[in-house]
Structure 1
Amino acid sequence: MTVVLTLNDVSKTYGGKPAVSGIDLAIAGDSYVSVLGASGSGKTTLLRLIAGFEEPETGSIVFEGERIDGTPAHERGIGFVFQNFALFPHLDVAGNIAFGLVNRRRDPVRDKAELDRRVAEVIRLVGLTGLERRGVSQISGGQRQRVALARTLVTRPRLVLLDEPLGALDAHLRARMRDELRQIRRSLGVTFLHVTGSETEALTMGDRLIVLDDGRIGQFAAPATVYAAPASPAVARYLNAYNLIRGSRSGASFVSALGPLPLAASGDARSASSNPPPSAPSGTSSNLGPAAADGVYAIRHDRIEVRAPESVPGADEIMVPARFVASEYGGASMLSFFALDTGQIVEVEEHLSRGMPLSLVPNSRYGLAWKRDAAIVYA
Structure 2
Amino acid sequence: MSPVLQLSNVVKAYGEHRALDGVDLSLPDDSYISLLGPSGAGKTTLLRVIAGFETPESGTIRFGGRVINTVPPHERGIGFVFQNFALFPHLSVEENIGFGLTNRKIDPVTDPAKVKARVREIIELVGLTGLESRAVTQISGGQKQRVALARTLVTEPNMVLLDEPLGALDANLRSRMRSELKIIRERCGVTFLHVTGSETEALAMGETVLVLDNKQIAQQGDADSIYNRPNSPAVARFLNCYNLFSGRVEGQAFATSSGALAFAGAAQPAASAAYAIRFDRIAIRPAGMPAGEGEVKIEGDFIASEYTGSAINSFFSLDDGKVFEVESHLSHSEPETYEPHGRYSLVWKREDALVYV
TM-score of the aligned structures, taking structure 2 as reference length:
0.98
Pairing 1:24-103 to 2, within 5 Å after superposition:
24-103=24-103
* Deviations 1:10-59 (CA, angstroms, capped at 9, x unpaired): 01112312111111111110011100000000100000000011000001
The residue type equivalent to 1:200 in the other structure is T
Could you tell me which residue of structure 1 aligns to residue 322 of structure 2? 344
* Deviations 1:79-125 (CA, angstroms, capped at 9, x unpaired): 00001000000000000000001000000001111111100000000
Shift of 1:321: 0.6
Aligned mate of 1:272, from 261, 268, 272: 268
Please state if 1:116 is matched with 2:116. Answer: yes
Secondary structure of residue in 2 paired with 1:310: coil
Pairing 1:137-176 to 2, within 5 Å after superposition:
137-176=137-176
The residue type equivalent to 2:142 in the other structure is G
Pairing 1:175-254 to 2, within 5 Å after superposition:
175-254=175-254
Secondary structure of residue in 2 paired with 1:6: strand
* Distance in 1 separating the partners of 2:13 and 2:32: 27
Please state if 1:363 is matched with 2:357. Answer: no
Secondary structure of residue in 2 paired with 1:219: strand
* Deviations 1:224-251 (CA, angstroms, capped at 9, x unpaired): 1000000100000111010100010011
Secondary structure of residue in 1 paired with 2:179: helix
Could you tell me which residue of structure 1 aligns to residue 130 of structure 2? 130
* Deviations 1:140-188 (CA, angstroms, capped at 9, x unpaired): 0000000000000000001000000000000000000000000000111
Please state if 1:332 is matched with 2:310. Answer: yes
Q: How many residues align?
A: 357
The residue type equivalent to 2:106 in the other structure is R
Secondary structure of residue in 2 paired with 1:319: strand
* 1:9–1:21 contact (8 Å) kept in structure 2: yes
Please state if 1:307 is matched with 2:285. Answer: yes
* Distance in 2 separating the partners of 1:357 and 1:131: 46
* Distance in 2 separating the partners of 1:308 and 1:318: 14
Deviates more, 1:69-78 or 1:147-156: 69-78
Could you tell me which residue of structure 2 aligns to residue 256 of structure 1? 256
Q: Over aligned residues, Cα RMSD in angstroms?
A: 0.9
* 1:306–1:358 contact (8 Å) kept in structure 2: no
* Deviations 1:186-226 (CA, angstroms, capped at 9, x unpaired): 11110000000000000001000000001011100001100
Secondary structure of residue in 2 paired with 1:354: coil
The percentage of counterpart residues that share the same residue type is 57
* Distance in 2 separating the partners of 1:71 and 1:297: 46
Shift of 1:67: 1.1
The residue type equivalent to 1:163 in the other structure is D
Unaligned runs of 5+ in 2: none
Shift of 1:310: 2.5
Shift of 1:357: 4.0
Could you tell me which residue of structure 2 aligns to residue 322 of structure 1? 300
Secondary structure of residue in 1 paired with 2:230: coil
Secondary structure of residue in 1 paired with 2:246: strand
* Distance in 2 separating the partners of 1:180 and 1:338: 39
* Distance in 2 separating the partners of 1:300 and 1:272: 16
* 2:24–2:216 contact (8 Å) kept in structure 1: no
* 1:32–1:208 contact (8 Å) kept in structure 2: yes
Shift of 1:356: 2.3
* Distance in 1 separating the partners of 2:109 and 2:158: 18
Could you tell me which residue of structure 2 aligns to residue 290 of structure 1? none
- Runs of 4+ residues deviating >6 angstroms: none
Secondary structure of residue in 1 paired with 2:5: strand
* Distance in 2 separating the partners of 1:151 and 1:357: 47
Could you tell me which residue of structure 2 aligns to residue 16 of structure 1? 16
Unaligned runs of 5+ in 1: 279-294
* 1:326–1:336 contact (8 Å) kept in structure 2: yes
Secondary structure of residue in 2 paired with 1:161: strand
* Distance in 2 separating the partners of 1:36 and 1:319: 33
* 1:62–1:68 contact (8 Å) kept in structure 2: yes
Please state if 1:377 is matched with 2:343. Answer: no
* 1:161–1:193 contact (8 Å) kept in structure 2: yes
Secondary structure of residue in 2 paired with 1:130: coil
* Distance in 1 separating the partners of 2:334 and 2:247: 34
Shift of 1:252: 1.4
* Distance in 2 separating the partners of 1:315 and 1:183: 47
* Distance in 1 separating the partners of 2:332 and 2:238: 27
* 1:47–1:163 contact (8 Å) kept in structure 2: yes
Shift of 1:2: 1.6
Shift of 1:358: 2.9
* 1:277–1:296 contact (8 Å) kept in structure 2: no
The residue type equivalent to 2:3 in the other structure is V
